[in-house]
Amino acid sequence: MNSRYKFASDLAIWAVLFTMPFWMGWIGGYTALGSRVLIMALAAISLNFLLGFTGVLSFGHAAYFGLGAYGVGMTIKYLTPSTPLGILVGVAVGTAAAAVIGALIVKLRGVYFAMATIAFGQVFYFIAFRWNAVTGGDDGLSGWHRMPIDLGFRTIDILGNDKIFYYLVLICFVVAIAIMAALLRSPFGRTLLAIRENERRARFLGISIERHIWLSFMISCVFVSLAGTLYALLNNFADPHGLHWSQSGDFVIMTVLGGMRSLWGPLLGAAIFVVLQDYISSRTENWMSFIGLLFILVVLFFPRGVLGIIRGKENS
């Protein structure tokens, strides 16, 4: 029965995502908002791969999100007007940075690891903020836009069609989710869960803790860099805020709000965060106060997140 319910719930989630552009307008939304939900959900799920399934907290994931954004923007603006190549460069830049930084901080634990991720993230933030000639500084990287995708036999225009771009984002989301889900079901994923539950016991079993945490960190950053490239393409813009530690805090809020230790929890948290941000910010500048209050209530009374509330009611 549980497997049937899980299959039905997964099918319902995918049905909602695949049909979102057609019903968003009925509830006062718009297609670009759906794209933003998916992109932020991908970033939050990527963080959850490290936080929820490995037990390691990072407050520096915005660095790789921002590197992905600047990577695609600078590729299209300065190198070649190719959207696929820009995405590849953005992901490669973010992944390379994560590989180097992860190797430097992998032996740290707890708050020390989190603070180290913030420190390295802020280095990239200040580089983007101060390097006006290349990154645009505080004004951001503008003067470029996402380019049509040439498949050889057909050209797909993702610039003027929000629905087509939404489905490009959805394809990237599906591929990323499938890869992460497969990894978590593999022996590697089971090893990450063992490290999360009891690192000392896992070390006694002969598991290379540092190597597995480094790999988990790097895999997580691959997909958060992908989210960054898609976010820049959505806005046709990249700015230093995408590298700031506060953006990492948003990813953590989405993950905890929806529910850690589940692939779908961060998706739900991202949807709540992005939709509330869009709705409340149009009415007051203090929109973050409402998000913060909701976050505090969830952490205090529903530590398993909104998804935990839903599952609890369904199991009762």
Q: Which residues contact 70 (CB under 8 A, 6 or more apart)?
A: 90, 93, 128, 135, 141, 232, 238, 242
Mean pLDDT of all residues belonging to the chain: 91
pLDDT at 252: 95
The residue that leads in pLDDT, 257 or 160, is: 257
Question: What are the structure tokens assigned to 242, written together?
Answer: 């995408």
Q: Which residues contact 245 (CB under 8 A, 6 or more apart)?
A: 59, 60, 62, 118, 121, 122, 125
DSSP 204-226: HTT--HHHHHHHHHHHHHHHHHH
pLDDT, tens digit, for every residue of 181-206?
999 999 999 999 999 999 999 999 89
The residue that leads in pLDDT, 240 or 149, is: 240
pLDDT at 1: 43
Q: Which of 31-40, 256-265, 281-290, 291-300 has the lowest mean pLDDT?
A: 281-290
Q: Is 155 helix (H, G, I), strand (E, B) or coil?
A: strand
pLDDT, tens digit, for every residue of 109-151?
989 999 999 999 999 999 999 999 999 999 999 999 999 888 7
pLDDT at 316: 44
pLDDT at 44: 97
pLDDT at 168: 95
Q: Considering the entire predicted model, what is its pTM? A: 0.94
Which residue is listed with tokens 């961060």? 266
The two most distant CA atoms of the chain are separated, in Å, by 60
Q: Which residues contact 164 (CB under 8 A, 6 or more apart)?
A: 156, 157, 158
pLDDT at 284: 80
Question: What are the structure tokens assigned to 296, written together?
Answer: 């505090």
CA–CA distance, 167 with 172 (Å, rounded to integer): 9
**313 — pLDDT class (breaks 50, 70, 90):** low
Backbone φ, ψ for residue 59 (5° rounding):
-105, 20
CA–CA distance, 215 with 223 (Å, rounded to integer): 13
pLDDT at 175: 97
- Are 40 and 274 contacting, i.e. CB atoms less than 8 angstroms apart? yes
- % of the chain surpassing 70 pLDDT: 97
pLDDT at 312: 62
CA–CA distance, 229 with 143 (Å, rounded to integer): 16
pLDDT at 55: 93
- Are 150 and 86 contacting, i.e. CB atoms less than 8 angstroms apart? no
Average pLDDT over residues 30-40: 95
H helices of 187-208, in order, are 187-197, 199-204
